[in-house]
Structure 1
């Protein structure tokens, strides 16, 4: 099983968007069982998954049950508790036959992110091509480098044919590898999320879907994830208690 972690010190960089789209791309590619962990106290990935039709994509709940969640501080505490369980959860998920685990993290360079990055086979750093986002890259890059993990920058929400996009790629290349596949700005990302879907599902022939497909192709090779033969039926609810179900189901 491979572990992909999306991380960025800058809020709004597109970590959750990248996580959910790569998770669905992986599932549709036929690699088998795919799981996600949401370590962001904002819980955007969790809310999207709750809206999603059941199709085998799992959201793993690692925080102990009963922790308070009324405030952001409460949710941050629960996220830290979940991150501290990663060392035990990853072997358990591997034993269940999962081929890929994707971890979404908060916009920080704190202990939650450090624990997630430490568990990663590859760290994905989404970056919008803006001065503010580029200024924030260094702290994330230093954290990943300090833990000796491979890292790839993903240019996200770019404007087509804009000079700033090319300038951002050049600037990022000074810190590490830049994915050759860029995700351009599109309302399709937000529109598809309303139903718990992705652009690949909402409009398979659209340009955003093609960009996501290209990004998944690159990431799957870069991480060393080898696709297996497509499976005929995905397990929707494994027995392991680490995996949480949707409310009311």
Structure 2
């Protein structure tokens, strides 16, 4: 099967982009998948995260910037990685655009607030100009069952935007795990955060499988 490239993108910091990218990559790595991370954010969050502990020491990760994102993707593909996850800057850049163009799936994390919603919608419009890959929104730092989270989800659906079913509630487990250089999948494998990450990975995998199936049908038609 061809490798899968997942790009996390948003034009606003503090959305949970790096956290969701790391948690997804670490989950699949723990399951034995050959996954690699590309840290295209100048903050270097993913690389610093891995270096802070031991659980993720053998998780493949590399930094990339303007002009080098596609080269790093190709390098990982040459090395036989099955899944490549890209964390992009929280602003528009050449690196962001390169990661968008190469993606098989684009995930836009957002907090449940009107400002974050507008930025996420603007990000989706920018993505659509560069890629025909599926786009999904990921609600993060939510309070489960809150009025604002339900309102944001309904607003997205009314606008024809597609939020993922899974949400990432605000939990101390994410911050505690990051402090130790790990993720809840390792830190508290039976906890609620680890269960959310597993659901996130399963839903993401279904989206990628659906895209591969469509691509297969299209090639048969040609």
**Cross-structure match for 2:149:** 165
Alpha-carbon distance, 1:55 to partner: 4.8
Deviation by residue 1:154-207 (Cα, 9 ceiling, x = unmatched):
111100110111111112222422111111111110101111110111111111
Q: What is the distance in 2 between the residues matched to 1:194 and 1:89?
A: 27
Q: Choose from 197, 204, 208 the match for 2:189.
A: 204
**Cross-structure match for 1:115:** 98
Alpha-carbon distance, 1:90 to partner: 2.5
Q: Choose from 80, 89, 94 the match for 1:106.
A: 89
Structure 1 gap ranges (5+): 63-78, 226-249
**Cross-structure match for 1:218:** 203
**Cross-structure match for 2:22:** 20
State TM-score, norm by structure 2.
Answer: 0.87
- Specify whether residues 175 and 44 from structure 1 end up closer, same or farther in structure 2 by C-alpha distance, changes over 3 A only: farther
Q: What is the distance in 1 between the residues matched to 2:115 and 2:71?
A: 37
Q: Would you say the 8 A contact 1:103–1:116 is kept in 2? A: yes
Task: Indicate yes or no: 2:135 matched with 1:151.
Answer: yes
Alpha-carbon distance, 1:208 to partner: 1.1
Relative contact order (C-alpha < 8 Å, sep 6+): which is higher?
Answer: 1
Q: Choose from 171, 174, 187 the match for 1:186.
A: 171
- Specify whether residues 141 and 175 from structure 1 end up closer, same or farther in structure 2 by C-alpha distance, changes over 3 A only: farther
Q: What is the distance in 1 between the residues matched to 2:134 and 2:117?
A: 19
Q: What is the distance in 1 between the residues matched to 2:176 and 2:136?
A: 27
Q: Would you say the 8 A contact 2:50–2:57 is kept in 1? A: no
Q: CA RMSD in A?
A: 1.8
Structure holding more helix per residue: 2
Q: Choose from 142, 151, 159 the match for 2:125.
A: 142
Q: What is the distance in 2 between the residues matched to 1:196 and 1:39?
A: 19
Q: What is the distance in 2 between the residues matched to 1:118 and 1:179?
A: 21
Alpha-carbon distance, 1:117 to partner: 0.5
Alpha-carbon distance, 1:87 to partner: 3.0
